[in-house]
Structure 1
Amino acid sequence: MIRTLLALDGALVRGALSLVLAAEEDIHVVGEVGRGDAVDQAVRAGRPDVAVVDFDLINEGRAMVDPATAQPCPLLVLADPRRARGLHGVFAPGRTVGILASDVAPQRVVDGVRRLARRESVVDAELVMAALAADCPLTARETEVLRLTAAGAPVAEVAGSLRLSCGTVRNHLGRIARKTGARTRIEAVRFARESGWI
């Protein structure tokens, strides 16, 4: 029996997938969560063989799956191809990760759960191509500035971390705003995260 945890944003999708998986003779759903900050506790409590996780939870920094406190169960990450650029961030040493587009047929998820339970590779080729083709207009330095800003660092702290002047950081933030069409830093961060740039 493959013990499976569902960590997906949206009760309707999560519930529907739970029904599909529970209908399989060799799969048992041991838990369902809709918030990334609840994933680590659910993994420790349910001890799943595979966790099906929404990339948006990971992408927003809300999925806490701590290998130090939880068994490193394989993750089957479901991602929107339009925001696939940041997929490299889901891979971690010692953890088996599979990736599927969030709009795949339910049977692909069932198959992915079984394959990951056997520690086999699960990769959606179209999703990988979308990740490679995603065109980020931000420079490497602008990306660094925006990542630190997204973490809540004020301009002076960003400047100190990157050994830049405060004026240079403000110039970077201005260019980032123009490239993202954002009116505020918060909007720029949200747009960049949704696009998979940070």
Structure 2
Amino acid sequence: MIRLLLADDQALVRGAMAALLDMEPDLSVVAEVGRGDEVLAAARTHQADVALLDVEMPGLDGVSAARELHGRLPGCKVLMVTTFGRAGYLRQAMAAGAAGFIVKDTPARQLADAVRRVHQGLRVVDPALAAQSLAFGDSPLTERETDVLRAARSGGTVADIARELRLSEGTVRNHLSSAIGKTGSRTRAEAVLMAEDNGWLLI
């Protein structure tokens, strides 16, 4: 029996996934959590073999939770199951130690099969997302440019961003200008949107 941990902040989605997976004769959902910072403790307590993690969760995002599991509980394999099929998320998740990455609209039979393959030590990646990841490549943004774009998501002024990141307004403008240029955008709002769509702002 393969013991599963489900981590998703949407209770209905989590419940539906648990019901589908529990119908499989060799799979058993032993724990469910709604926050990323509850994943490690739940995996330890319930001796999970495979953790199915959403990307965006409160407390700790799924990629960071995957990294924590991989480092501190390597026997528990990680399969990312997310609505956010973004190439950047895929690359970050695999770099964090996830063994698989699929989207939530994957048919139930394929989801169960993905769990089994990950448990066997194989990698499972949504093929369309894998192709997209190869096409887009790694983020062109520096760490500071990423910080500035992440802070710009709230729509605050340059002064607001400077205050939040403890930088001068001139430095913020320089980073914004560079990020706009690298993403081929016309405005910082476009740059934020493009970076988000490519999954460059998660970490």
Q: TM-score, normalised by structure 2?
A: 0.71
Closer, same or farther: CA 139–2 of 1 in aligned 2, 3 Å? closer
What percent of counterpart residues are identical?
A: 35
1:147 CA displacement: 2.7
Residue 102 of structure 2 aligns with which residue? Answer: 100
Superposed CA offset, 1:102-134 (max 9, x none): 221111110011111111221221111233345
Report how many residues are paired.
184
Separation of aligned partners in 2, 1:18 and 1:108: 14
- Higher RCO, 1 or 2 (CA under 8 Å, sep at least 6)? 1
Closer, same or farther: CA 61–155 of 1 in aligned 2, 3 Å? farther
Residue 131 of structure 2 aligns with which residue? Answer: 129
Residue 10 of structure 1 aligns with which residue? Answer: 10
Residue 64 of structure 1 aligns with which residue? Answer: 65
Residue 189 of structure 2 aligns with which residue? Answer: 180
1:85 CA displacement: 2.4
1:3 CA displacement: 0.4
1:46 aligns with 2:46: yes
1:178 CA displacement: 1.6
1:28 CA displacement: 0.8
1:37 CA displacement: 1.6
Moved more, 84-93 or 4-13: 84-93
1:34 CA displacement: 1.6
Q: Alignment RMSD, CA only?
A: 3.6
Structure 2: 5+ residue runs without aligned partners?
A: 152-160, 181-185
Q: 1:76 aligns with which of 74, 79, 97?
A: 79
Which AA in structure 1 matches 2:100?
G
Structure 1: 5+ residue runs without aligned partners?
A: 183-187
Which AA in structure 1 matches 2:187?
R
SS at match of 1:167: helix
SS at match of 1:103: coil
The within-5 A match list for 1:146-157 is 146-147=146-147, 150=150, 155=162
Superposed CA offset, 1:41-76 (max 9, x none): 111111111111112239x73653424543441111
